[in-house]
Structure 1
Amino acid sequence: MNPDSAERATRQSALTAQLAFRGAFREVSGSTRRISGELSRLKASERGVGGGTGVFVRYVDYGAEQLRWIDAQLAAATRLSNSASEVENPDMQLALLRLAGPRLEAAMMGSLLLAVWLDFLHLADVALKQRLYSVEWLFVNMERFQKMLEPAMTALSSVEPAQVEAAVKDIPALVGHLTSEFDATREAMRVGAENLQKMLVLKDSIEALTLLSAMKFSLPSLPPSAPALLGMGLAVGSDGVMMGTRIVVSAEWVEMMRQLVRAGVLSLPVVSAAVRIQAGQVMMAQAYNELPRGVRVALGDGPEVRGMRVTGSAGAGMNKPPRHHVMPKEFREWFEKRGFTGEMDIDEFCVEMEQAHHEAIHGGGDWKLGRTWPREWNRMIMKALGKAETEAGRTLTRNEILNIVAEAMEEYNIPMNVIPWRGR
């Protein structure tokens, strides 16, 4: 392969995206494992939220319930990522990673919210153990905080792009509001401490419990008049850490996110929402477009990235083009027998195409006449797959099928930007 060839560049891009994806996955899964351990510890405690009459256990169970769907999406993302590493075609590798991207996005934002919920559980645990707060008021407040979280968690767990995108826009402001609620409850507990010993226990507990929190950069709350403390750019220090006044994220994390955004695996709004949350109270309420330009550029916001999300006339606000199954749905059972189920269902492998292009590959738009044309897409791809199985003398594997489909898509100039069917 020519070192300067386009194919080499595509393969390098696919490899870079895979490595970045695995890094982001490890970060999220590491957080969920620690949260899982803390939830188990709280529930097993004979005092605090796990003890007494057990009325507060429901809130621990709520956290465990959210953790289950997050872990399920991480598992599905892992399977897709593994499949991406096993196929030969680099464009199909990127396509599979893009299918995994929304699952990783939902899990990443869900884990941030779950870390906030864990903080409230820890706070309730300290209050009950030290009797620093009215049990009745604590129960009412926990119920209220849960109801604040539920809409965002429900939207994220659906993994529906539209619902996730809408939720992501509101999550930084939600975390900012919950941070204020947390700080107010903590202050009420401090006032309620009857002696120095209880105050010291409260101080130590609060300092320890925010280790995993998405609120850790925001406590105590900043006054409303405080200026945005995240600078116009992020400077990389001698230790490799990218720092602003209020935010500290590793240069490695920023580069990892940038690579995933450029590859179309993660969306820039999701990544910027995570940055705003970690940047502190002031930035939580800021819209994405109000982030300092230097931060957006560091994350990969440029014309080439924004252009990836504009496909044909649909990107200009016109009617969305039809979604084309690259693996014919009338042969669904054939594909299912070869492993295309679950997150690899053929409904996940659709592409948006201009109406004229879509009709052209199906013989002019009339499916009855189209089936008589040897080069009609469905007829051609099934013939190619059947021939490959005959030559192999066995059933094709899922990855072998994906490689054949990828080659055919390139020949027919079909974009490799696969998206779910979703009934359209």
Structure 2
Amino acid sequence: MNLRSTPREPDGPALAEGPARRSATQARQAVFSAVLDVSGSTRRIAGELSRLKTSKPGIAGRHADLFIPFVDYGVQQLRWIDAELAAVTRLSNTASEVDDPDMQLALLRLTGPRLEAAMLGSILLAVWLDFLHLSDVVLQQCPYYSVERLFRQMDRLQMMLKPAMTALASLEPGQVEATATDLPALIGHLTGDFAATREAVRVAAEQFEKMLVVKDLIEMLTTASAMKVALLRLPPAAPATLGVGLVVGSNGVMMGTQMVVSAEWVEMVRQLVRAGVLSIPVVSAAVRIHAGQVMMSESDQELPRGVRDALGDGPEVRGMRVTDRAGAGMAESPQHHVLPREQREWFEKRGFTGEMSIDQFCVKMERASHEAIHGGGDWRLGRTWAGEWNRMIMEALHEAEAEAGRMLTRNEILKLVAKRMKDYGLPMNFTPWRGQ
């Protein structure tokens, strides 16, 4: 990989910054690659949803009033997924403009819940597209199959998908990771439903003695199934074997065989895990879905051996099993606003809005440390201490603006904040404010 060289001073601190800057650059490139991966899937899904809305005499035929809402549901989910991918891109671009490499990585970690939700959401949406394709074929080719029965099945399946989609769209890290943990089992169940529906259609065809249609129909249903490609798009490259994998058998059931994925995909995931952008539960879920039912039953706490070998079983991977976003006790730790809440309007005037809101820049701390940084338990008394965080950071920012003779830019503020965070020993790992 060719990385753009960055001018550096020949002293110790600058030299030490080299690896950190390379890590930030590699992580940023991995985030962009992941966005392209998921975008490839969403573009395909968007095209298919548009086609289905005009599919006559299928979904858009005589029973359009019943089945078009199912397509519209897919369009609604696609909308939030694409919005999160756009937000990830904007955050990544912002990170690329920040000088401090640790702050760059911290901003990239902010993309994590959005990227994870989009990745998992696109997988679920691809499965939903499978069922829309199935319904479209049945409505076109199977007048002897009960429309009411098909509608009830689709309605039931949508109810099954909704909780997971809602949790992912919330972007709450705990909900995203909990959904990731449950997702392989859900997709396994949906795969069984897909096979059962296809078998019911075949039986209905036989009962109505449509044997000449049956052969072509079953072939169409097999082609309609995108279960075998309801995965992250993999770019062409020299393969690296990860272990057992996913195919769809003649009866529509997932079966384990050997799967190969690109070396680039493995490297992308490795970089995102090491940078703390993707969590182990999400990576594990994606791999289990790739690998099919054989691996869906493995322990949720451990990655399959082939995946550990591919990602590397170093301290980054091992540590994240313990200290991921839903780590023990982390949800109850106090959150410290690095950018003071009482100065929200001041920061908003300088560009801290939307996904760059000050509520995105919180760090989890032990309660004692959080109180100490604010000068003790009484925050009003704490403000009288010159070293109290909020007082210190605002004085530093006001002084910098006075010296510059203008408003500071967002990136100038982040550079100054990064320095103060290092001085105070604050972790450069932001989490969104949860209203504690």
Q: Taking structure 1 as the reference length, what is the TM-score of the superposition? A: 0.88
CA distance 1:309–1:420, change in 2 (3 Å): farther
- Residue by residue over 1:335-382, the C-alpha shift from the partner in whole angstroms, topping out at 9 and shown as x without a partner, is 111111111111110111223332332223432332222222111111
Aligned match of 2:347 in 328, 335, 338? 335
Show structure 1 runs of 5+ residues with no match. Answer: 230-244
Aligned residues of 1:101 and 1:265 also touching (Cα < 8 A): yes
Deviation at 1:403, TM superposition (A): 1.1
Summarize the alignment of residues 356-375 of structure 1 with structure 2, pairs less than 5 Å apart.
Answer: 356-375=368-387
Q: Bigger CA drift: 18-27 or 392-401?
A: 392-401
Deviation at 1:177, TM superposition (A): 0.8
Q: Which secondary structure does the structure 2 equivalent of 1:23 belong to?
A: helix
Residue 253 (structure 2) pairs with residue 206 (structure 1): no
Q: Bigger CA drift: 289-298 or 88-97?
A: 289-298
Report what 1:235 is aligned to.
none
Deviation at 1:286, TM superposition (A): 2.9
In the aligned structure 2, how far is the partner of 1:90 from the partner of 1:345? 20
Summarize the alignment of residues 85-234 of structure 1 with structure 2, pairs less than 5 Å apart.
Answer: 85-131=96-142, 133-193=145-205, 194-197=210-213, 199-204=215-220, 206-210=222-226, 212-214=229-231, 217-220=246-249, 229=256
Aligned match of 2:51 in 41, 64, 72? 41
Residue 260 (structure 2) pairs with residue 248 (structure 1): yes
In the aligned structure 2, how far is the partner of 1:413 from the partner of 1:335? 23
Quick one: which amino acid aligns to residue 217 of structure 1? Answer: L
Aligned match of 1:393 in 396, 400, 405? 405
Aligned alpha-carbon RMSD (Å): 2.7
Aligned residues of 1:179 and 1:219 also touching (Cα < 8 A): no
Residue 61 (structure 2) pairs with residue 51 (structure 1): yes
Q: Bigger CA drift: 61-70 or 193-202?
A: 193-202
Identity of aligned residues (%): 65
Aligned match of 2:37 in 27, 30, 50? 27
In the aligned structure 2, how far is the partner of 1:222 from the partner of 1:127? 17
Deviation at 1:201, TM superposition (A): 4.7
CA distance 1:136–1:335, change in 2 (3 Å): same
In the aligned structure 2, how far is the partner of 1:291 from the partner of 1:100? 23
- Residue by residue over 1:65-88, the C-alpha shift from the partner in whole angstroms, topping out at 9 and shown as x without a partner, is 111111121122111111111111
Aligned residues of 1:262 and 1:300 also touching (Cα < 8 A): no
Aligned residues of 1:183 and 1:221 also touching (Cα < 8 A): no
Aligned residues of 1:42 and 1:49 also touching (Cα < 8 A): yes
Show structure 2 runs of 5+ residues with no match. Answer: 1-7, 233-244
The ranges of structure 1 where at least 4 consecutive aligned residues each deviate by more than 6 angstroms after the TM superposition are: 221-224
Aligned match of 2:315 in 296, 300, 303? 303
In the aligned structure 2, how far is the partner of 1:126 from the partner of 1:381? 62
Q: Taking structure 2 as the reference length, what is the TM-score of the superposition? A: 0.86
Aligned residue pairs: how many? 406
Aligned residues of 2:84 and 2:115 also touching (Cα < 8 A): yes
CA distance 1:357–1:389, change in 2 (3 Å): same
Q: Which secondary structure does the structure 2 equivalent of 1:288 belong to?
A: coil
CA distance 1:348–1:293, change in 2 (3 Å): same
Aligned match of 1:282 in 270, 294, 297? 294
Deviation at 1:38, TM superposition (A): 0.5
In the aligned structure 2, how far is the partner of 1:176 from the partner of 1:296? 23
Aligned match of 2:365 in 347, 353, 356? 353
Aligned residues of 2:130 and 2:224 also touching (Cα < 8 A): no
In the aligned structure 2, how far is the partner of 1:248 from the partner of 1:327? 45
In the aligned structure 2, how far is the partner of 1:222 from the partner of 1:284? 19
Quick one: which amino acid aligns to residue 128 of structure 1? Answer: L
In the aligned structure 2, how far is the partner of 1:90 from the partner of 1:361? 24
Report what 1:381 is aligned to.
393
CA distance 1:116–1:381, change in 2 (3 Å): same
In the aligned structure 2, how far is the partner of 1:420 from the partner of 1:163? 13
Quick one: which amino acid aligns to residue 415 of structure 1? Answer: P
In the aligned structure 2, how far is the partner of 1:289 from the partner of 1:21? 25
CA distance 1:396–1:142, change in 2 (3 Å): same
In the aligned structure 1, how far is the partner of 2:412 from the partner of 2:250? 55
Aligned residues of 2:184 and 2:285 also touching (Cα < 8 A): yes
Deviation at 1:33, TM superposition (A): 1.1
Quick one: which amino acid aligns to residue 23 of structure 1? Answer: S
Aligned residues of 2:246 and 2:259 also touching (Cα < 8 A): yes
Aligned residues of 1:179 and 1:221 also touching (Cα < 8 A): no
Quick one: which amino acid aligns to residue 41 of structure 2? Answer: S
Aligned residues of 1:222 and 1:282 also touching (Cα < 8 A): no
In the aligned structure 2, how far is the partner of 1:75 from the partner of 1:223? 35
Aligned residues of 2:85 and 2:118 also touching (Cα < 8 A): yes
Deviation at 1:92, TM superposition (A): 0.8
In the aligned structure 2, how far is the partner of 1:347 from the partner of 1:371? 21
Q: Bigger CA drift: 180-189 or 211-220?
A: 211-220
Q: Which secondary structure does the structure 2 equivalent of 1:142 belong to?
A: helix
In the aligned structure 1, how far is the partner of 2:153 from the partner of 2:322? 44
Q: Bigger CA drift: 398-407 or 353-362?
A: 353-362
CA distance 1:33–1:252, change in 2 (3 Å): same
CA distance 1:317–1:379, change in 2 (3 Å): closer
In the aligned structure 2, how far is the partner of 1:319 from the partner of 1:183? 40
Summarize the alignment of residues 6-21 of structure 1 with structure 2, pairs less than 5 Å apart.
Answer: 6-21=16-31
Q: Which secondary structure does the structure 1 equivalent of 2:248 belong to?
A: coil
Aligned residues of 2:361 and 2:432 also touching (Cα < 8 A): yes
